[in-house]
Amino acid sequence: MKMTRTFHPESYGKLLAEYQPKIITTYAENEQAIALVLTLEHRPNRTPEEEMLLQLLVTLIEQFEETHYPIIQGTPNSMLVHLMDARDTTTEALAEVIGSLEITLQIVNGDAYGGLRLRTISKTQAEALADYFNVDISLFS
């Protein structure tokens, strides 16, 4: 039988006084908040007050990151180039995924010509790329 825990405003007030959560305005504050969230997430038998503090911190982190780490809306080709840069992937390695170095070069260089796409990414190629990079296929469509 599971016992329901009661929320204690006094205990929550003590947690707020101890950690003093506020709107996050710097990268350092964000890192501190993330560290505290990780500590709370891995704490066995979190109290209702700790759970409330955890939710508050996650909300503050999300707000900061939406402003400071916006999701870039790009073309499928630019998303591919971004993933290649981020994961230090060579065109040759990608050619093994796509099946042709020539086609890979056309896709990768597609945005290098004033936005003129030399080749779009096919559905089959998008599926292979999504599997390779372990991302959602929608990035390439």
The Cα–Cα gap between 36 and 127 comes to 37
pLDDT in tens, 61-95: 999 988 887 766 678 888 888 889 888 899 999 99
pLDDT at 118 over 80: no
Which pLDDT does position 119 carry in this prediction? 67
pTM: 0.51
Q: Mean pLDDT in the chain? A: 86
pLDDT at 112 over 90: no
Q: Which amino acid would we find at residue 11?
A: S
The Cα–Cα gap between 45 and 5 comes to 11
Check if the beta carbon of residue 37 is closer than 8 Å to that of residue 61.
yes
pLDDT at 116 over 80: no
Which pLDDT does position 15 carry in this prediction? 93
**For the chain, what's the residue count?**
141
Confidence of residue 111 (pLDDT cuts 50, 70, 90): very low
CB atoms within 10 A of CB 85: 9
Q: What percentage of the chain's residues is helix, strand, coil (to nearest 5)?
A: 65, 0, 35
